């Protein structure tokens, strides 16, 4: 049994402990430890990606032992880690973005020790969510991740940081409660039907998704459970109308945290749906699919239109995330091979591009100390390299072919058309609005005559390039050769899709 | 005629009761802590007298005497400790007037 | 040479390599000699030479139906079957298709592009971002060649969007000009609107072609592509396809799909109502206008319609014809009053593209494509010529020009040739192609008299074209200089990188159509029925005929919207009926065609000469006064000058409402959606305040009350505790006494 997943998950925690032992003024040492303890998981997740067996149907790199065991109550919580095609790309994404986030926060001056310690704790939480195969463990990591996020926004954020942090925390906690209830529902269901599902296995996600087990999850009760779980995840995605924490959190969070927030945290909602809701409750998922498609549609169009009206650059990017995550929902609702692949790939591609966009916003904010779109202008003169990279990121985000977002969005649209025609057509208008707000913004920020007040603005420096270039390279690479990532996902997604498809046929 | 026949038990008990009453009176009436200690000694000795008298008249062995000797011993120790406390009080308050010592007042 | 896939690869990748090199050097701050202009020019020049070889090879081979395909498995949807093997559910391979249509496009794109590269060396010489300009030209060439070479609709769409990007970059090249910044955004977004239509069309086609492919594991991977032209054509020509029950589209699925697909062309080829971006795109450097907005990119729509001709039902084609016809005359009217030399050419381009589309819509598949070929050369020549004028004069306004033929003789001659060609004077190339279009339109109208409006659009458009093009020539090159100061300072023509491409294009303009009545046939032979409509096959009812023709002439009588596709076999009574009268019908059709073409030739020459003469009498000999006509036909003039208020219309009814909607949604989001969240929070806070008060007052009050009772009773009790040892003793004695007494009393 290899322990690679445990290592990936807990090395950052170890790093955090080391940092806590270091004296507060040893800032370079603290940064060095942070780099090291994010680089190691990154290296390990790359090796995970390389060692991953594409054709395999089940979980890989599984680690399993009992964590809590109370035989009298038939309660067993496992420490069970494992990845499949759905989670492995996200582990890789988390590894990449956490590593880059350390560099993006390099120049933090306030409370360096606490900042990096929390950042590393956050990484442990995120990795744990993507690796755990036990509902309880999943829940624990889900909550672990909340806490550092709260402090990172609440202490190192912008002017309204307290408001944003509390809003984020409470909103997500509200969702967690619903998850907790769903989790209990499985446990008590198992206690009542021990012949179908041993209560000792009631938290085992692989066992729950077993064809014989999930067949018993039918009827109104499980639809309610599905909706509860959906709301829990929808808050993270975020799905309209639960999205309003996102712009506030993004605007107030420091750059690196915005990167993590958009790049990884939003994916957890979709990941939760793909890992828990759809394979375990396929019947309810099939029942809920039209609503999900409608919500996805609203996300796409509404998010894009609201993004167009924003005056703050970062807020615009935040709303563009709302819009793009809608494609994941539409893809999952349509439940065809192509659409599912699109939805899963969209998680990864949006992770890359939104991370890039937030890094870019951070760069300009560091220099101009404001983010009001209309106050910029003619920046292409002073910052040619920055302009070039921004063009790449904007173009990727608005779905230009040859860049990765196009592949995922095109797959969603290709796959969804048969299932939801009108929805797909209206969703596709999102690509016009996407072009609308990005290009309008580009025109106002970079084009036009050069402004005197920005004439001394330096171009991107080496550290910023170091964070942006790898992302840009991946965006191009996956746009040109998406199979590098798609082939890893296919089989796992097919399992999920089959589950829901058979439920649809059965119903 | 032995002493036992000449004086019955009641005589001893009367003396003892008198001693006890005197001791109580000393304790209650005197202000001086040292005087009060003397009252205590009186009470103890009245008890001793009772022990010996009962032992002699009703039990017939020497267990009462033994008790009396114990009490005398303890009384000596008690007197030493009590006098130490009194000296401590004197050093703290400059007086050994028991009425003035109301530190336990609620 | 043809068999090797290396050559298309090279043609495609050389410009990309040039672009990548430029970008890398720019990022690394490495200086290329001459800022790398030779790199881009060399790359595309090599492509031009290779394309010419391919073209020559294909012509000399005498094998008109050659097809070369090659593909790479770019994206597959795999699944694991019961046998444990991975199967491809469907795939989207990226592949090349080299046939006659492709080669024609390759020649056009690479040659015009090469000449524009050379021209730019002179025109852009003093620009501070000279190197970047060439890198943009390279990425454009790459995208356009990709678009042309792709063997499937998905790949076409990729190229389609990529040329959109290149166009965006190039229009916005002088981004410091607010007008250019606005124009490039407008171009991209308008194109995106068209692309959306095309995407929907592709999705509709996909839903037809996907199902048979999905579960057939025996198919090789190349045929697993639901969007390859081959698969799409096969499914469509089979005449029967699955249309889902409860369809959201009440009219024929394929017609709607075709119209949506055509929407892509409406965007890219600037057809009404999405033509608005093209005139604005003139804010870009003039070589860009010549390359992208005249010769190549805007022709992509026409190319696409030609390529996918088999997909369009007669109803869809009718829609295409009316769109093209209306655009042709609509844009021509605007060009008549424009004063900016580039704007005239821009509207002329829109109008000419309308002609091509009109030709295609009237079943003249090779005519429309032929016009693309000839137009590419003479329109590029006109734009580069105007570029030379602008370069010499530093002005674009024709009111400041005049008499320039003395200063710019080479430019004048070249532009005159191009003007004659676009106006349709024989024997120049434009005459042949325009004649074919008008012939096709006239044939169509003679067979379907209810569509008589189409040839009227066509001939009026042709007359206006001759008029405004000669107006341009007269105002620019003839007469007396209206701005003597500018005239004095104009750089005279000399043989250099600016004039040389003009001369080459002039030669191409003269001879690209073959030049003679018999030579003109070559294009029709090259891009023939089989190329566009697919190989002939045994037709139902005997004889050899294209399925397409049978489908169109028999099953879909024009004008009627087809409710459902019908199988094309002998059981179909319509087919049987047609088989009887087929030979007669064919003869009649050929007769009409012949008659129409004769008339078209005569009429087109007449309107061309007429238009030119009116122009002469208006601007050279002041016989008609433009001012008088403008006041006399004020409403018409007003519309022309204001471009029929289309931009204003969009602004008023699309953009402003959209912005208002955005603002409304933003405030909705902040006040209502977020407001609800905040309200919940507020409510919670108030509620907790209240429950806190209850807690403090009542719950805690009980606890404190208990404590208070104990304290007060304790306070009462403490007076006993005097601390006086003698009182305690007394109390003890009394107590003891009481106990003893009570003991004695009770017992």
Please tell me the predicted confidence (pLDDT) of residue C240: 47
Given a contact cutoff of 8 angstroms between Cβ atoms, the answer to whether A416 and A299 are in contact is no
Please tell me the distance in Å from C714's CA to the nearest CA on chain B.
9
Cis peptide before A261 (omega within 30 of 0): no
Q: How confident is the model at residue C339 (pLDDT cuts 50, 70, 90)?
A: confident
Q: Is the pLDDT of residue C573 over 80?
A: no
CB neighbours of residue A73 within 10 Å: 11
Q: Which of C152, C186, C188 to mutate to test the interface with A (most CBs of A within 10 A)?
A: C188
Provide the H-helix boundaries in chain B: 3-6, 9-29, 33-54, 63-93
Provide the H-helix boundaries in A369-482: 379-382, 384-397, 404-416, 421-428, 430-446, 462-480
Please tell me the distance in Å from A431's CA to the nearest CA on chain C.
8
Please tell me the predicted confidence (pLDDT) of residue C102: 87
Please tell me the predicted confidence (pLDDT) of residue C584: 67
**What is the CA angle C386-C388-C394, rounded to 5?**
90
Q: Is the pLDDT of residue C222 over 80?
A: no
Q: Which of C713, C719, C727, C729 to mutate to test the interface with B (most CBs of B within 10 A)?
A: C729
**Closest CA relative to residue A182, chosen from A140, A142, A230:** A230
Q: Look-up: residue for tokens 């290899």? A: A2
- On average, the pLDDT of chain C sits at 82
Q: State how far the Cα of A334 lies from the Cα of A420, in Å rounded to an integer.
A: 7
Token code pair at residue A418: 């048969």
Given a contact cutoff of 8 angstroms between Cβ atoms, the answer to whether C264 and C233 are in contact is no
Please tell me the distance in Å from A483's CA to the nearest CA on chain C.
6
C724/B106 touch (CB, cutoff 8 Å), yes or no: no
Q: State how far the Cα of B68 lies from the Cα of B73, in Å rounded to an integer.
A: 9
C729/B106 touch (CB, cutoff 8 Å), yes or no: no
Q: State how far the Cα of A116 lies from the Cα of A99, in Å rounded to an integer.
A: 12
Touching partners of A (3+ C-beta pairs < 8 Å) = C
Q: State how far the Cα of A403 lies from the Cα of A7, in Å rounded to an integer.
A: 32
Contact list in C for residue B104 (CB cut-off 8 A) is 721, 723
H/E element holding A58?
none
B106/C730 touch (CB, cutoff 8 Å), yes or no: no
Please tell me the predicted confidence (pLDDT) of residue C352: 92
| Three-state DSSP class for residue A86 | coil
| Residues 527-586 (C) with a CB less than 8 A from some CB of A | none
Given a contact cutoff of 8 angstroms between Cβ atoms, the answer to whether C448 and C318 are in contact is no
Contact list in C for residue B98 (CB cut-off 8 A) is 724-726
C659/A380 touch (CB, cutoff 8 Å), yes or no: no
In angstroms, the Cα distances linking A257 to A112, A246, A266, C313 are 14, 12, 12, 54
Neighbouring residues of A94: CB distance < 8 A, sequence distance ≥ 6: A45, A123, A126, A127, A130, A264
Q: Is C653 on the interface with A (CB under 8 A)?
A: no
Touching partners of B (3+ C-beta pairs < 8 Å) = C
Residues C411-468: pLDDT tens digits? Answer: 899 999 999 999 888 778 888 888 888 988 988 888 778 888 899 999 999 999 999 9
Crossing angle for the helix pair C499-511 and C429-447, to the nearest 10 degrees: 40
Number of compact structural domains in chain A: 1
- Residue of C161, C196, C666 with shortest CB distance to A432: C196
What chain C residue is nearest to A413 in terms of C-alpha separation?
C203
Please tell me the distance in Å from B5's CA to the nearest CA on chain C.
31
Q: State how far the Cα of C440 lies from the Cα of C371, in Å rounded to an integer.
A: 12
3-state helix, strand, coil in chain A (%, to 5): 75, 5, 20
**Closest CA relative to residue C91, chosen from C143, C147, C155, C8:** C155
Token code pair at residue A31: 């940064």
Please tell me the distance in Å from C484's CA to the nearest CA on chain A.
32
Q: State how far the Cα of C356 lies from the Cα of C371, in Å rounded to an integer.
A: 6
User: What's the length of chain C?
Assistant: 747
C724/B98 touch (CB, cutoff 8 Å), yes or no: yes
Please tell me the predicted confidence (pLDDT) of residue C147: 92
What chain B residue is nearest to C726 in terms of C-alpha separation?
B28
CB half-sphere exposure, A226, CA atoms < 13 A: 24
Q: Which domains does chain B have, with CATH numbers?
A: 2-96 (1.10.287.3510)
C723/B103 touch (CB, cutoff 8 Å), yes or no: yes
Q: Which of B82, B99, B103 to mutate to test the interface with C (most CBs of C within 10 A)?
A: B99
What chain A residue is nearest to C660 in terms of C-alpha separation?
A309
Q: State how far the Cα of A347 lies from the Cα of C405, in Å rounded to an integer.
A: 62
Q: Is C719 on the interface with B (CB under 8 A)?
A: yes
C168/A310 touch (CB, cutoff 8 Å), yes or no: no
Q: Residue A466: which domain range?
A: 4-506
H/E element holding C30?
none
Mean pLDDT check: name the lowest of A490-499, C680-689, C705-714.
Answer: A490-499
Contact list in A for residue C196 (CB cut-off 8 A) is 428-429, 431-432
C677/A245 touch (CB, cutoff 8 Å), yes or no: yes
Count of CB pairs separated by less than 8 Å, B with C:
34
Contact list in C for residue B36 (CB cut-off 8 A) is 725
In the 8-state DSSP scheme, what is residue C722? -
| Three-state DSSP class for residue C76 | strand
Q: State how far the Cα of C442 lies from the Cα of C454, in Å rounded to an integer.
A: 8
Higher pLDDT, C3 or A125: A125
B28/C726 touch (CB, cutoff 8 Å), yes or no: yes
What chain C residue is nearest to B27 in terms of C-alpha separation?
C726
Please tell me the distance in Å from C267's CA to the nearest CA on chain A.
13
Token code pair at residue C411: 């430019």
Q: State how far the Cα of A295 lies from the Cα of A395, in Å rounded to an integer.
A: 25
Contact list in C for residue A400 (CB cut-off 8 A) is 161-162, 165
Q: How confident is the model at residue C66 (pLDDT cuts 50, 70, 90)?
A: low
C726/B98 touch (CB, cutoff 8 Å), yes or no: yes
Contact list in C for residue B39 (CB cut-off 8 A) is none
Q: State how far the Cα of A445 lies from the Cα of A226, in Å rounded to an integer.
A: 44
Residues C344-365: pLDDT tens digits? Answer: 999 999 999 999 999 988 888 8
Please tell me the predicted confidence (pLDDT) of residue C649: 87
Please tell me the distance in Å from A31's CA to the nearest CA on chain C.
28
B105/C722 touch (CB, cutoff 8 Å), yes or no: yes
B106/C726 touch (CB, cutoff 8 Å), yes or no: no
B106/C720 touch (CB, cutoff 8 Å), yes or no: yes
- Residue of C79, C662, C674 with shortest CB distance to A309: C662
Q: State how far the Cα of C32 lies from the Cα of C50, in Å rounded to an integer.
A: 26
| Three-state DSSP class for residue C276 | coil
pLDDT tens string, chain A, 507 residues long: the values are 588 999 999 999 999 999 999 988 888 999 999 999 999 999 999 999 999 988 777 888 999 998 988 888 888 899 999 999 899 999 999 999 999 999 999 888 888 999 999 999 999 999 999 999 999 999 999 999 999 999 999 999 888 888 999 999 988 999 999 999 999 999 998 888 888 888 888 898 888 888 888 888 888 999 999 999 999 999 998 898 899 899 999 999 999 999 999 999 999 999 999 999 999 999 899 999 999 999 999 999 999 999 999 999 999 999 999 999 999 999 999 988 889 999 999 999 999 999 999 999 999 998 888 899 888 888 888 888 899 999 999 999 998 988 999 999 999 998 898 888 889 999 999 889 999 999 999 999 988 888 888 888 888 888 999 999 999 999 999 998 888 888 888 888 888 888 888 887 654
C721/B27 touch (CB, cutoff 8 Å), yes or no: no
Q: State how far the Cα of C375 lies from the Cα of C352, in Å rounded to an integer.
A: 8
Q: Is the pLDDT of residue B3 over 70?
A: no
Instruction: Report CA Rg, chain B.
Output: 17
CA dihedral in degrees (C604, C607, C611, C614; nearest 10)?
150
3-state helix, strand, coil in chain C (%, to 5): 75, 5, 20
Q: What is the pLDDT averaged over residues C6-14?
A: 86
Crossing angle for the helix pair C178-214 and A404-416, to the nearest 10 degrees: 50
B104/C721 touch (CB, cutoff 8 Å), yes or no: yes
Token code pair at residue C351: 């109008």
Beta bridge partners of C340: C397
- Residue of C161, C162, C176 with shortest CB distance to A448: C176
Label each residue of A300-324 as H, E or C.
Answer: HHHHHHHHHHCCEHHHHHHHHHHHH
Residues C259-283: pLDDT tens digits? Answer: 999 999 999 998 988 989 998 888 8
Q: Are chains A and B in touch, 3+ Cβ pairs below 8 Å? A: no
By percentage, how much of chain C surpasses pLDDT 90?
22
CB half-sphere exposure, A249, CA atoms < 13 A: 31
Please tell me the distance in Å from C185's CA to the nearest CA on chain A.
6
A446/C175 touch (CB, cutoff 8 Å), yes or no: yes
Please tell me the predicted confidence (pLDDT) of residue C3: 66
Given a contact cutoff of 8 angstroms between Cβ atoms, the answer to whether C351 and C331 are in contact is yes
Q: What is the pLDDT averaged over residues C559-563?
A: 36
C718/B104 touch (CB, cutoff 8 Å), yes or no: no
Q: State how far the Cα of C361 lies from the Cα of C512, in Å rounded to an integer.
A: 24
What chain A residue is nearest to C206 in terms of C-alpha separation?
A414
Q: Is the pLDDT of residue C57 over 70?
A: yes
Q: State how far the Cα of C701 lies from the Cα of C523, in Å rounded to an integer.
A: 102
Given a contact cutoff of 8 angstroms between Cβ atoms, the answer to whether C367 and C439 are in contact is yes
Beta bridge partners of B49: none
Pairing of strands A60-70, A75-83: antiparallel
Please tell me the predicted confidence (pLDDT) of residue C126: 85
Q: What is the pLDDT averaged over residues C671-691?
A: 90
Cis peptide before A103 (omega within 30 of 0): no
Q: Is C716 on the interface with B (CB under 8 A)?
A: no
Give me the sign of the Cα torsion angle C458, C460, C461, C466: positive
C206/A378 touch (CB, cutoff 8 Å), yes or no: no
| Residues 202-231 (C) with a CB less than 8 A from some CB of A | 203-204, 206-207, 210
Given a contact cutoff of 8 angstroms between Cβ atoms, the answer to whether A110 and A53 are in contact is no
Given a contact cutoff of 8 angstroms between Cβ atoms, the answer to whether C134 and C26 are in contact is no
**Closest CA relative to residue C119, chosen from C239, C234, C7, C285:** C285
What chain C residue is nearest to A383 in terms of C-alpha separation?
C27
Q: Which of C78, C153, C214, C284 to mutate to test the interface with A (most CBs of A within 10 A)?
A: C78
Token code pair at residue A124: 């442990």
Ranked by mean pLDDT, the top range of C73-77, C538-542, C683-687 is C683-687
């Amino acid at each position: 049994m290899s322990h690679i997943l445990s290592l990936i998950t807990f090395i950052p925690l170890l790093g955090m402990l080391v940092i806590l032992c270091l004296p507060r003024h040893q800032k370079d040492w603290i940064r060095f430890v942070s780099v090291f303890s994010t680089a190691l998981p990154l290296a390990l997740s790359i090796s995970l990606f390389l060692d991953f067996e594409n054709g395999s149907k089940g979980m890989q790199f599984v680690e399993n032992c009992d964590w809590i065991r109370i035989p009298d109550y038939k309660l067993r919580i496992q420490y069970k880690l494992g990845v499949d095609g759905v989670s492995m790309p996200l582990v890789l994404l988390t590894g990449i973005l956490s590593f880059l986030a350390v560099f993006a926060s390099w120049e933090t001056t306030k409370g360096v020790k606490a900042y990096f310690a929390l950042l590393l704790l956050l990484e442990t939480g995120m990795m744990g969510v993507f690796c755990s195969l036990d509902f309880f463990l999943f829940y624990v990591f889900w909550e672990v991740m909340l806490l550092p996020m709260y402090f990172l926004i609440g202490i190192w954020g912008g002017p309204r940081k307290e408001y944003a942090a509390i809003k984020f925390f409470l909103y997500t906690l509200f969702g967690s409660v619903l998850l907790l209830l769903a989790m209990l529902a499985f446990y008590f269901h198992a206690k009542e039907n021990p012949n179908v599902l041993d209560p000792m296995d009631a938290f085992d996600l692989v066992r729950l998704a077993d064809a014989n087990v999930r067949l018993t999850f039918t009827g109104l009760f499980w639809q309610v459970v599905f909706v509860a779980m959906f709301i829990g995840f929808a808050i993270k995605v975020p799905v309209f109308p639960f999205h309003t924490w996102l712009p506030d959190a993004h605007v107030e969070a420091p750059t690196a945290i915005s990167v993590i927030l958009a790049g990884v945290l939003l994916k957890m909602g979709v990941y939760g749906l793909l890992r828990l809701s759809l394979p375990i409750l396929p019947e309810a998922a099939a029942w809920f699919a039209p609503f999900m498609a409608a919500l996805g549609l609203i996300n796409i169009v509404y998010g894009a239109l609201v993004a167009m009206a924003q005056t703050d650059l970062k807020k615009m990017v935040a709303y563009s995330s709302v819009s793009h995550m809608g494609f994941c929902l539409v893809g999952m609702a349509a439940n065809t091979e192509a659409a599912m692949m699109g939805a899963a790939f969209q998680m990864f591609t949006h992770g890359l591009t939104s991370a890039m966009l937030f890094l870019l916003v951070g760069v300009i904010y560091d220099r101009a100390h404001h983010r009001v779109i209309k106050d910029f202008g003619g920046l292409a003169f002073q910052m040619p390299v920055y302009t070039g990279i921004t063009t790449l990121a904007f173009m990727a985000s608005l779905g230009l072919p040859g860049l990765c977002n196009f592949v995922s969005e095109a797959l969603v649209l290709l796959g969804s058309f048969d299932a939801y025609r009108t929805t797909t057509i209206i969703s596709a208008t999102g690509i016009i609005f996407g072009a609308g707000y990005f290009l309008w913004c580009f025109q106002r920020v970079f084009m036009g005559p050069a402004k005197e007040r920005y004439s001394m603005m330096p171009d991107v420096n080496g550290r910023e390039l170091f964070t942006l270039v790898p992302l840009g390279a991946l965006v191009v690479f996956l746009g040109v050769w998406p199979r590098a990532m798609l082939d890893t996902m296919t089989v796992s997604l097919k399992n999920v899709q089959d589950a829901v498809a058979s439920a649809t046929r059965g119903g | 005629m032995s002493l036992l026949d000449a004086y019955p038990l009641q005589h001893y008990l009367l003396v003892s009761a008198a001693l006890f009453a005197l001791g109580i009176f000393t304790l209650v009436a005197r202000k001086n802590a040292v005087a009060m200690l003397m009252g205590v000694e009186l009470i103890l000795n009245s008890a001793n007298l009772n022990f010996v008298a009962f032992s002699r008249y009703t039990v017939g062995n020497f267990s009462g005497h033994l008790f009396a000797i114990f009490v005398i011993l303890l009384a000596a120790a008690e007197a030493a400790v009590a006098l130490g406390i009194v000296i401590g009080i004197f050093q703290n308050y400059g007086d050994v007037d028991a009425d003035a010592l109301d530190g336990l007042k609620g | 040479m043809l068999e090797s896939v290396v050559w298309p690869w090279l043609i495609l990748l050389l410009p990309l390599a040039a672009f990548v090199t430029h970008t890398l050097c720019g990022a690394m701050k490495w200086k290329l000699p001459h800022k790398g202009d030779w790199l881009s020019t060399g790359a595309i020049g090599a492509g031009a030479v290779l394309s010419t070889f391919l073209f020559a090879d294909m012509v000399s081979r005498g094998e008109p139906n050659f097809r070369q395909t090659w593909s790479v498995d770019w994206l597959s949807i795999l699944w694991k079957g019961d046998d444990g093997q991975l199967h491809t559910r469907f795939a989207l391979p990226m592949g090349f298709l080299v046939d006659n249509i492709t080669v024609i496009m390759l020649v056009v794109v690479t040659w015009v592009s090469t000449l524009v590269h050379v021209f730019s060396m002179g025109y852009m010489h003093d620009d501070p971002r000279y190197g970047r300009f060439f890198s943009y030209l390279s990425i454009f060439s790459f995208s356009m060649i990709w678009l042309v070479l792709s063997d499937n609709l998905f790949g076409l769409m990729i190229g389609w969007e990529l040329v959109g990007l290149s166009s965006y970059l190039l229009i916005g090249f002088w981004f410091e000009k607010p007008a250019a910044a606005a124009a490039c955004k407008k171009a991209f977004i308008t194109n995106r609107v068209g692309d959306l239509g095309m995407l929907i069309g592709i999705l509709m086609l996909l839903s037809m072609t996907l199902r048979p492919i999905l579960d057939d594991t025996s198919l090789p991977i190349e045929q697993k592509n639901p969007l390859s032209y081959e698969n799409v054509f096969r499914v469509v020509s089979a005449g029967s396809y699955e249309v889902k029950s409860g369809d959201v589209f009440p009219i024929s699925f394929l017609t709607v799909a075709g119209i949506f697909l055509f929407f892509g062309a409406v965007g890219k080829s600037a057809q009404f109502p999405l033509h608005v971006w093209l005139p604005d795109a003139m804010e870009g450097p003039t070589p860009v206008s010549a390359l992208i907005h005249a010769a190549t990119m805007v022709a992509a729509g026409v190319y696409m319609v030609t390529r996918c001709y088999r997909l369009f039902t007669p109803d869809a084609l009718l829609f295409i014809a009316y769109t093209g016809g209306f655009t042709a005359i609509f844009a021509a009217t605007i060009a008549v009053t424009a004063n900016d030399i580039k704007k005239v050419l821009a509207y002329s381009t829109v109008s000419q593209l309308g002609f091509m589309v009109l030709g295609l819509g009237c079943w003249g598949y090779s005519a429309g494509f032929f016009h693309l070929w000839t137009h590419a050369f003479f329109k590029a020549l006109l734009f580069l010529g105007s570029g030379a004028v602008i370069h010499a004069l530093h002005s674009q306004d024709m009111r400041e020009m005049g008499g320039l033929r003395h200063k710019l003789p080479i430019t004048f001659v070249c532009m005159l040739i191009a003007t004659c060609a676009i106006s349709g004077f024989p024997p120049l190339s434009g005459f042949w192609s325009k004649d074919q279009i008008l012939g096709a339109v006239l044939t169509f109208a003679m067979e379907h008299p209810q569509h008589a409006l189409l040839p009227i659009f066509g001939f009026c458009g042709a007359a206006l074209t001759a008029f405004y093009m000669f107006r341009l020539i007269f105002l620019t090159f003839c007469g007396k200089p209206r701005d003597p100061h500018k005239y004095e300072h104009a750089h005279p023509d000399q043989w250099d990188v600016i004039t040389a491409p003009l001369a080459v294009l002039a030669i191409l303009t003269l001879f690209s159509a073959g030049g003679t009545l018999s030579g003109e046939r070559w294009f029709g032979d090259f891009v023939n029925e089989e190329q566009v409509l697919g190989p002939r096959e045994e037709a139902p009812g005997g004889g050899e005929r294209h399925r397409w023709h049978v489908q169109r002439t028999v099953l879909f009588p024009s004008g009627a919207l087809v409710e459902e596709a019908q199988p094309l076999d002998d059981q179909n009574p319509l087919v049987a009926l047609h088989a009887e009268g087929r030979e007669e019908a064919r003869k009649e059709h050929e007769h009409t065609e012949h008659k129409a073409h004769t008339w078209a030739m005569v009429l087109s020459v007449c309107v061309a000469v007429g238009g030119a003469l009116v122009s002469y009498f208006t601007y050279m000999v002041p016989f008609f006064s433009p001012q008088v006509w403008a006041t006399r036909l004020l409403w018409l003039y007003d519309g022309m000058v204001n471009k029929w208020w289309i931009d204003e219309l969009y602004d008023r009814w699309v953009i402003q409402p959209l912005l208002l909607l955005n603002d409304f949604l933003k405030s909705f989001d902040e006040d209502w959606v977020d407001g609800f969240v905040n309200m919940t929070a507020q409510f919670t806070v108030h509620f907790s305040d209240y429950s806190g008060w209850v807690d403090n007052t009542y719950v805690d009050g009980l606890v404190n009350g208990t404590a208070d009772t104990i304290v007060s009773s304790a306070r009462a009790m403490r007076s006993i505790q005097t601390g006086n040892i003698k009182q305690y003793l007394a109390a003890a004695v009394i107590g003891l006494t009481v106990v003893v007494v009570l003991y004695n009393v009770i017992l």
